[in-house]
Amino acid sequence: MEFNLANNLHSLRASAPLVHNITNYVVMNFTANALLAIGASPVMSHAAEEVEDMVSIAGALVVNIGTLSPEWVKGMKLAMRKAAQTGKPIILDPVGAGATPYRNAVLTELLETAAPAIIRGNASEIMALAGTNIQTKGVDSTASSADSMEAAKALSLKYGSVISVSGETDVIVSGTQTAFVSNGVLLMTKITGMGCTASALAGAFAAVSSDPFHAAVSAAAAMGVCGELAYRHAKLPGSFQIAFLDALADISPAHLAELSKVKFAF
What is the rounded CA–CA span in Å between residue 99 and residue 141? 11
- Which residue from 146, 140, 203, 188 is spatially nearest to 170, judged by alpha carbons? 146
In the sheet where 170-174 sits, what is the strand order? Answer: 41-44, 18-22, 60-64, 90-93, 118-122, 162-166, 170-174, 177-181, 262-265
CB neighbourhood size of 236 (10 A): 9
Q: Is 69 annotated as a binding residue?
A: no
Residue type, position 139, single letter: V
For residues 171 and 182, the answer to whether their CB atoms sit within 8 Å is no
**166 annotated to a ligand binding site:** yes
What gap in Å lies between CA 66 and CA 110, rounded to an integer?
Answer: 14
Structural contact between residues 61 and 90, judged by C-beta atoms closer than 8 angstroms: yes
Give me the torsion for CA of 26, 110, 51, 205, rounded to 10°.
70
- Flag whether 193 is marked binding: yes
Q: Return the exposure string of 120-143: e unless at least 16 CB atoms fall within 10 Å of the residue's CB, then b.
A: bbbbbbbbbbbebebebeebebeb
Q: Across the chain, which distance is largest between two alpha carbons, in Å?
A: 45
**Residue 199, annotated as binding a ligand:** no
Query: How far apart are alpha carbons 120 and 23 in whole angstroms?
Result: 13
List binding-site positions for substrate: 44, 193
List binding-site positions for ATP: 120, 166
List binding-site positions: 44, 120, 166, 193
